[in-house]
Amino acid sequence: MGICLALRKRTGRGVQHGVAESTRAAPGKTGDIVRQVSQSGNYTPSPFFHPPILNHRGMVAMNGHGYNVQMVPTPYTAKQKKRPKLLSYKIPMSVRARVAYTLADLLSKRGLDMRIVFHDASVAALSQYGYLDRPEVSYSHIDGSDHFSVCEDGKALDFIQWMFQSPAYKLGQMGVDAVNDIFREEGIGYEFSPYVATEVPVDPPSYGKPMYGPGGGYRVEIQYPEATKKSNEWLHANTSMPALRLLSSAPIWKVANEEMLKAHEHFRRGDFPDAIHWAGKCLESVLQIICDKNGWSFVPDKSTLNPLLQACYKGGLFAAPYIDVIQKSSGEIRNAWSGHGKAKSAHGKATQAMAEHMLQITSAHVMLLAKMAGF
């Protein structure tokens, strides 16, 4: 049986069945509805929507004097529940239901309809697989509900990613935080990377007019969340996620962020040589960004790791021992098992443990280099 969602629209006149017109924005026109530019989920208030939600545990209510924060108390059973000691990579029906109902509740508080989000994710799934999984007996009339209930775990992660990409999804990082919290509470070994929406100036605007929005002269670029796999809760929380948050914090890191996300995606899918390769590419991109910032010369698009490290050393970013530390860890691992050394077999096959180690040390190097460079 699928996840039956009894979804309703909240309006100023009470709760009504139906679909809010503001959720019918065409793809690529999200700027007509709201200018969402921060990871926190906060945005410039728009007349199209009801007051924004601060986070998934409390919502903002409007009165004659401004906004009041209404915090929802934690249920008694949630306080008593102990988190699993070992991570699981199975996503049971109960966890999928929590994800669906939590996002539906958050959307409904903005007058938005989860059914549209499910429909958009279903279309993406059909485009990718050519079919939707279905249970033997179904009582759901919501597009994609049955598929999300019974599909394999990898497809469930795909479905959540596609929900975040729906034009009707207007929760930003807040919805991502809600899903990550559910996974953390349930001991699920996955976490979604940040949702980042950035205003990019358009110069000059078309025909002297803004593309959309009252401010004019900008477009919104979105880096959607992607599922990352964690095998150690502490290491993931203290190395991988801080690096991902840093790389998603500003447009300057865009290329490096995309490369790190590719590394995590390949790791999740079991392609360990490519996970190592893209982690190494990310590190090189970070070093190039630092060199650009400081005006240190290097050969664009041709610099491998060592010349970039030498440029940073000569510029005074770090002491000489760090050249060997970074080169002999990230650099030589990448050269031996992927990228430049993909055809080599003398060192054996890249394993999950090796790819995970590469992701962790690269994330640590990224954080160190960024701090040294003053980011």
Q: pLDDT tens-digit profile of 134-157?
A: 888 776 777 788 999 999 999 999
More confident residue, 171 or 61: 171
Does the pLDDT of residue 94 top 70, yes or no?
yes
- The proportion of the chain whose per-residue pLDDT surpasses 70, expressed as a percent, equals 71
Between the alpha carbon of residue 238 and those of residues 198, 213, 282, 344, the distances in Å are 25, 38, 18, 33
Task: List all residues 6 or more positions away from 357 whose beta carbon is below 8 Å from its beta carbon.
Answer: 333
Does the pLDDT of residue 74 top 80, yes or no?
no
31-40, 110-119, 263-272, 346-355: least confident range: 31-40
**Contact criterion met (CB below 8 Å) for 111 and 50:** yes
Domain coordinates in residue numbering, the chain: 1-227, 230-375
pTM: 0.62
More confident residue, 30 or 355: 355
**Contact criterion met (CB below 8 Å) for 282 and 259:** yes
More confident residue, 259 or 61: 259
Report the pLDDT value the prediction gives residue 337, as an integer from 0 to 100: 84
Average pLDDT estimate for 296-322: 87
- The proportion of the chain whose per-residue pLDDT surpasses 90, expressed as a percent, equals 47
User: CA 87, 101, 106 angle in degrees (round to 5)?
Assistant: 110
User: CA 59, 63, 69 angle in degrees (round to 5)?
Assistant: 25
Average pLDDT estimate for 345-354: 79
Average pLDDT estimate for 226-235: 82
Per the structure block, which two tokens stand in for 146?
Answer: 């049955």
Report the pLDDT value the prediction gives residue 203, as an integer from 0 to 100: 64
Average pLDDT estimate for 251-270: 91
Does the pLDDT of residue 63 top 90, yes or no?
no
9-23, 101-115, 160-174, 270-284: least confident range: 9-23
Greatest mean pLDDT among 6-15, 263-272, 280-289 lies in 280-289
Report the pLDDT value the prediction gives residue 58, as an integer from 0 to 100: 44
Average pLDDT estimate for 184-201: 88
Q: 230-375 has which CATH code?
A: 1.20.120
**What digits encode the pLDDT tens for the residues 157-177?**
999 999 999 999 999 999 999
Rounded to an integer, what distance in angstroms lies between the CA atom of residue 279 and that of residue 350? 14
Rounded to an integer, what distance in angstroms lies between the CA atom of residue 315 and that of residue 292? 11
Report the pLDDT value the prediction gives residue 265, as an integer from 0 to 100: 87
96 φ/ψ sector (left φ>0, alpha ψ -120 to 50, else beta): alpha
**Contact criterion met (CB below 8 Å) for 354 and 329:** no
Does the pLDDT of residue 76 top 80, yes or no?
no
Give the confidence band of 88 by pLDDT, cuts at 50, 70, 90. Answer: confident
Does the pLDDT of residue 121 top 90, yes or no?
yes
Type of residue at 269: R
Report the pLDDT value the prediction gives residue 326, as an integer from 0 to 100: 93
Rounded to an integer, what distance in angstroms lies between the CA atom of residue 23 and that of residue 48? 10
Between the alpha carbon of residue 49 and those of residues 109, 168, 223, 252, 318, the distances in Å are 10, 12, 23, 31, 49
Per the structure block, which two tokens stand in for 305?
Answer: 């790791």
Does a cis peptide bond (omega within 30 degrees of 0) precede residue 27? no
Report the pLDDT value the prediction gives residue 15, as an integer from 0 to 100: 34
DSSP 124-192: HHHHHHSS----SS----STTHHHHHHS-HHHHHHHHHHHHH-TT---THHHHHHHHHHHHHHTBSEEE
**Measuring CA to CA, which residue among 72, 57, 62 is closest to residue 106?**
57
Does the pLDDT of residue 207 top 80, yes or no?
no
